[in-house]
Structure 1
Amino acid sequence: MTAGIAFVGCGYVADLYQSALANWSETLELKGVYDRDPKRLKTFAKHYGLETYPSFDALLEDPEVEIVVNLTNPDEHYAVTKQALEAGRHVYSEKPLAMDLAEARELVELAADEGLHLVCAPSSALGEAAQTLAREVQSGAHGKPHLVYAELDDGMVHKIGYQNWKTASGAFWPAKDEFKTGCTIEHAGYALTWLVAMFGGVRRVVSFASCLVPDKGKDTPPDYDTPDFSCACLEFDNGVVARMTNSIIAPHDHRFRVFCENSVLEVGETWDYSGKVRVTPVPKSKMRRGAIKLLGMTGSRKIKPQSQRKISTAKRGYPMDFALGVAEMAEALQEGRAPRLAGEFSLHITEVSLAIQYPEQFGTDYRPVSAPGPVAAMEWRSEED
């Protein structure tokens, strides 16, 4: 049984969702799309052969639409999601829930009051690589986890030809919106969802953020001062501490490393849902430095995530299943349960992301209020090479 969904927003990210729908043909059925820009709507719909709605109201009046997928610009997330919830529709929103924490909390409370579900991207914590890593960490086989290093550095984006980043339907990467929103709001969720799914809610955020390159060329937004670098230390209830960086300055580095008592667990690319988990034993304290270095090179093993599916993705970009979160939401609704990342979980990711990017607003030593519950594991299998 498929769930009817509709896209609001036909820009750059819509292609990424559209290209991943093939992974869930038995779960999701795209009823139609809408964009406030008639030209963009026509181009996107024609390229993929999709039905269109003449207005957002018309979309919400379609009784076959169960889930509204909010793919608008971040500044519009709050208003679009609120209107969809008030119309009695479940919502899956691109990140963040809102650019203001009070508005994000209002949306979560509205959904609860209306008996609806609200989920926010990213859903990569449900992907094969993240689930394989979480299973290893939580198994206890590697000893107690102490520390996590999570990097999401993308290089100097303003110097690497983003002007040529174009989707299959012809949408260009929205540079001004990306710079204005900030790389932390755009990217922190990828590591945060992994961390919160494994260790529970963040209890303390100590952050520094700065705009290091205020002139990024012709696409620099007016009065641009959004941080293009952030570094935060996050503390969890169980004592685990994570250091997380986000930047569009430092060279590309998307590693996620968990330092346990007996092993170091590493995923080299958090945007690869099929990425392998490298396990390296912690060397004995009496070993010489040369032997310790050699062990790091030769003593590790890899665990490859295995599942019964082949992931379809957009031609441009990384092997990420953007439709996974929407599909999991649809399955949850059919099973009469809450989606794994719904409500308080999505609010927490938004709250912590905002606190990291804006320490001058939240304080450099911030204690999040939202408290997400445990996240049930997906049924992805893993096996060692």
Structure 2
Amino acid sequence: MTPIKVGIIGCGNISRIYFTNLKQYPEVELAACADMDPSRARAMAEEYGIPHAYTVEELLADPEIGIVVNLTIPQAHAPVCLAALEAGKHVYVEKPLAVTREEGRQVLELAASKGLRVASAPETFLGGAIQTCRKLIDDGAIGRPIAAVGFMLSGGHESWHPDPAFYYKKGGGPMFDMGPYYLTALVNLLGPIRRVTGSAVVSHPQRTVRSEPKRGEVIDVEVPTHIAGVIDFENGTVGTLITSFDTPVGGTLPNIEIYGTAGTLLVPDPNNFGGVVRLRRQGADAAEEIPLTHGFTDNNRGIGVADLARSIAEGIPHRASGEMAYHVLEAMHGFHDASAEGRHYEMVSSCSRPEAMPEAAEAK
């Protein structure tokens, strides 16, 4: 296939891995970058050998750019996506799809009206570890899934991130920052969600930055920082998900564990592409490590952009779909709504499980 030209908008902390990896996928050609700070775009273009360092407006006006990769902060996700779609570009956006459900719907509706595609991070579910888990479940290794648990426990980002304030503003918090990895992995493994409930709290109304260059700055917290959620999947599986920025010493609980009628599956960190997969079969004395059956086990961020480009060329559905990203966005809001209103939140949206990745001989 002829590579589709890609332009990156947003040259911040996460962009480096995209600049590195997008130059390696044959489905795409990294042609331009842009940032609100033009000097940052120029620096990235020079460092990574990108032909054009544009303003945002210039990138959107370039007729050769077919896909915009939106790596802006969450509050800018929807506005940048909408502008790119209006300019006739397909979009791949970092998680979450948008800050609000209304914005998320606007993005999907505009894309549909223009015959364009929206894809969204996280794409880690395309990696070898979670795809191996997907194969085990689909092959019946644990029987019928009954329950699932997930835990993301941390002390927050103010101890290490150079500019952590946005993690505590609308569109941030542990659910919106890390929940997409867990929920996307679970939807890929178990299918869509029927309803959610939970409890959400702001444990500390202010946070003090301990990292450079903003050490000592005080952040007013706008979003829950500890969320304990319950998920009812459409297939009958019941899930439990805890995400927290209030546990500075972490814990000993698994990232994700799935319990079935014939076994238990230990799923590695969904923020990574690789990891150790363990399966305890019914009647076995202990869990066994399962060799990975799929490739892409390094930090392969950008693979979702390549999958989008390939799917556009072949006229088939792409895997990291906007519909799944919206479904995850709705579920994350549902946890907050359920806690605030003391009820179950019934999901309005649904989505298809993405097609499994092909097995790869080079898997390791």
> Quick one: which of 312, 332, 335 aligns to 2:314?
335
Query: Which residue does the alignment assign to 1:377?
Result: 356
Whether contact under 8 Å (2:168, 2:222) holds in the other structure is no
Whether contact under 8 Å (2:196, 2:338) holds in the other structure is no
The answer as to 2:220 corresponding to 1:212 is: no
In structure 2, C-alpha distance between the alignment counterparts of 1:362 and 1:90, rounded to whole Å: 37
Whether contact under 8 Å (1:155, 1:249) holds in the other structure is yes
1:384 is displaced (CA, Å) by 11
The answer as to 2:15 corresponding to 1:28 is: no
Paired amino acid for 1:11: G
In structure 1, C-alpha distance between the alignment counterparts of 2:362 and 2:94, rounded to whole Å: 32
Correspondences of 1:230-249 after superposition (within 5 Å): 230-249=227-246
Correspondences of 1:127-276 after superposition (within 5 Å): 127-158=127-158, 161-163=159-161, 172=162, 174-180=163-169, 181-218=172-209, 223-250=220-247, 251=250, 255-276=255-276
Query: Which residue does the alignment assign to 1:321?
Result: 300
In structure 1, C-alpha distance between the alignment counterparts of 2:223 and 2:104, rounded to whole Å: 20
In structure 2, C-alpha distance between the alignment counterparts of 1:20 and 1:214, rounded to whole Å: 38
Relative to structure 1, the CA distance from residue 96 to residue 273 in structure 2 (aligned partners, 3 Å threshold; closer, same or farther) is same
Paired amino acid for 1:28: V
Secondary structure at the counterpart of residue 319 of structure 2: coil
Whether contact under 8 Å (1:153, 1:254) holds in the other structure is no
Relative to structure 1, the CA distance from residue 362 to residue 41 in structure 2 (aligned partners, 3 Å threshold; closer, same or farther) is farther
Whether contact under 8 Å (1:157, 1:249) holds in the other structure is no
Paired amino acid for 1:305: L
Paired amino acid for 2:231: L
Relative to structure 1, the CA distance from residue 325 to residue 384 in structure 2 (aligned partners, 3 Å threshold; closer, same or farther) is closer
In structure 1, C-alpha distance between the alignment counterparts of 2:123 and 2:44, rounded to whole Å: 24
In structure 2, C-alpha distance between the alignment counterparts of 1:75 and 1:91, rounded to whole Å: 16
User: RMSD between aligned alpha carbons?
Assistant: 2.4
Relative to structure 1, the CA distance from residue 143 to residue 125 in structure 2 (aligned partners, 3 Å threshold; closer, same or farther) is same
Paired amino acid for 2:166: D
Cα offsets for 1:23-70 (capped at 9, x unmatched): 41x112110100011232233223223233432221122222110000
Secondary structure at the counterpart of residue 313 of structure 2: helix
Whether contact under 8 Å (1:60, 1:84) holds in the other structure is yes
Paired amino acid for 2:9: V
Paired amino acid for 1:234: I
Cα offsets for 1:235-257 (capped at 9, x unmatched): 01211011011112230666111
Whether contact under 8 Å (2:330, 2:347) holds in the other structure is yes
**Where does structure 2 lack aligned partners over 5 or more consecutive residues?**
none
Whether contact under 8 Å (2:151, 2:254) holds in the other structure is yes
Secondary structure at the counterpart of residue 162 of structure 1: coil
The answer as to 2:13 corresponding to 1:12 is: yes
Cα offsets for 1:68-118 (capped at 9, x unmatched): 000111111111100110111100011112111011111101101110000
Whether contact under 8 Å (1:271, 1:320) holds in the other structure is no
Whether contact under 8 Å (1:233, 1:242) holds in the other structure is yes
Relative to structure 1, the CA distance from residue 209 to residue 263 in structure 2 (aligned partners, 3 Å threshold; closer, same or farther) is same
Secondary structure at the counterpart of residue 19 of structure 2: helix
Query: Which residue does the alignment assign to 2:288?
Result: 301
1:198 is displaced (CA, Å) by 2.4
Relative to structure 1, the CA distance from residue 65 to residue 366 in structure 2 (aligned partners, 3 Å threshold; closer, same or farther) is same
Q: Compare 46-55 and 197-206 and name the one that shifted more.
A: 46-55
In structure 1, C-alpha distance between the alignment counterparts of 2:282 and 2:182, rounded to whole Å: 23
In structure 2, C-alpha distance between the alignment counterparts of 1:235 and 1:139, rounded to whole Å: 22
In structure 2, C-alpha distance between the alignment counterparts of 1:4 and 1:157, rounded to whole Å: 34
1:21 is displaced (CA, Å) by 2.3
Query: Which residue does the alignment assign to 1:105?
Result: 105
Whether contact under 8 Å (1:144, 1:260) holds in the other structure is yes
Whether contact under 8 Å (1:256, 1:266) holds in the other structure is yes
Query: Which residue does the alignment assign to 2:81?
Result: 81
Relative to structure 1, the CA distance from residue 223 to residue 208 in structure 2 (aligned partners, 3 Å threshold; closer, same or farther) is same
Per the normalisation by structure 1, the TM-score is 0.85
Secondary structure at the counterpart of residue 241 of structure 2: strand
- Over the matched positions of the two proteins, sequence identity in percent amounts to 30
**Where does structure 1 lack aligned partners over 5 or more consecutive residues?**
164-171, 285-294, 312-318
Relative to structure 1, the CA distance from residue 381 to residue 155 in structure 2 (aligned partners, 3 Å threshold; closer, same or farther) is farther
Paired amino acid for 1:337: I
Cα offsets for 1:314-362 (capped at 9, x unmatched): xxxxx43210111110110011122123232221011112222454567
Per the normalisation by structure 2, the TM-score is 0.89
In structure 2, C-alpha distance between the alignment counterparts of 1:205 and 1:221, rounded to whole Å: 33
In structure 2, C-alpha distance between the alignment counterparts of 1:42 and 1:214, rounded to whole Å: 38
Whether contact under 8 Å (1:118, 1:343) holds in the other structure is yes
Whether contact under 8 Å (2:174, 2:245) holds in the other structure is yes
